[in-house]
Every structure is written in C-alpha cells, then in structure tokens.
Amino acid sequence: MASSSGTSSGSSFLQNSGSEEDLQQLMDQRKRKRMISNRESARRSRMRKQKHLDDLTGQVTNLRKENNQILASMNVTTQHYLNVEAENSILRAQLSELSRRLESLNEIIAVLDANNNCNGLVMDHNEPYSFNFAQNDTMLDGFNVTNSWNYLSANHPIMTADVLQY
C-alpha cells in the first residue's frame, strides 16, 4: 500500500504541478492580454491627445487669421475715419469762409439799400442783383453803382486752392 500511496501522492503532485503550470500560463496569458490592452489603450490615448492638439493648433491658426482680418478691417476703418475727419475739417473751414463772405455781402447790400433809398434808387427784390433806377444817372454820390455791382458779382473763387488740397 505504501507503494500505491506513494504513487498516488506522486501523481497528485504531478497533477498539482500541472495545475500550477496551467495556472501560471493562464496568469501569464492574462498579463499579456492586460499588457496588450494597456498598450492599445495608451495608443488610443496618445491618438486622442494628438487629435486634440491638432484641433487646437488649427483653431489657433484660424483665430490668428481672423484676428489679422479684424486688424486689417480696423486699419481701413480708421483710415476712412481720418479721411472723413479731414474732409469735415475742410468743409467746416469752407463753411466759415462762406459765412463770412455772406455776412460781408449782406452788409454791402444793406449799405446799398440804405444809400439807394436816400438817392431814389429802388431795389427790385424779385430779381436778385438787379436794380431799377429812378434816375437815369448811374452815378450816385460819386459811387458808380453799375460798375461796383459788377465787381461784387464777378466770378470770384469761393475757396482758395490751398483749402482744396488734402
């Protein structure tokens, strides 16, 4: 019996060592699968990170391009604004000059009206710049009305050349 018990303990040991080897192989196989799975997961993670980085790089490029377009548009708008301001300044100067000229012409008309009323000259206000003389004489108190009026109504430039230049 001793030999049979020895044999049976020997075969039990062989079975156990076979089970341990199988168990070891199974554990090694699981380790390999886990290692492969981890490698694959790490690869996917690196790919996601790379895609995210590429997306961010593309977004930065688009935002820089948009920013440059906005800056260019701002520069054009600023230049347009400065041009309009310069033109506005010229127009204000012209308005001031024309206002002074109109005031001077109104003063001249007032003097002529006062002088004409005293000397029998009647101004026809229906026709601008025309006179009806009550007398045939165009000289009134040493003032040649016809020639003076022609001088006033001559084609004088409204603005000087330097005002017109930008």
Q: What is the four-CA torsion angle of 73, 76, 79, 81, rounded to 10 degrees?
A: -60
What are the pLDDT digits (tens) for 76-85?
999 999 999 9
Dist. CA 138–CA 147, nearest whole Å: 9
What are the pLDDT digits (tens) for 96-124?
999 999 999 999 999 988 887 776 555 55
Angle at alpha carbon of residue 162, lines to 157 and 166, rounded to 5°: 120
Closest residue by Cα to residue 113 from 76, 160, 149:
149
What are the pLDDT digits (tens) for 121-152?
555 555 554 444 444 444 444 444 444 444 44
pTM here is 0.44
Dist. CA 20–CA 26, nearest whole Å: 9
Over its C-alpha atoms, the chain yields an Rg (Å, rounded) of 54
Angle at alpha carbon of residue 80, lines to 75 and 86, rounded to 5°: 125
- Cα of 65 vs its chain's centroid, Å: 14
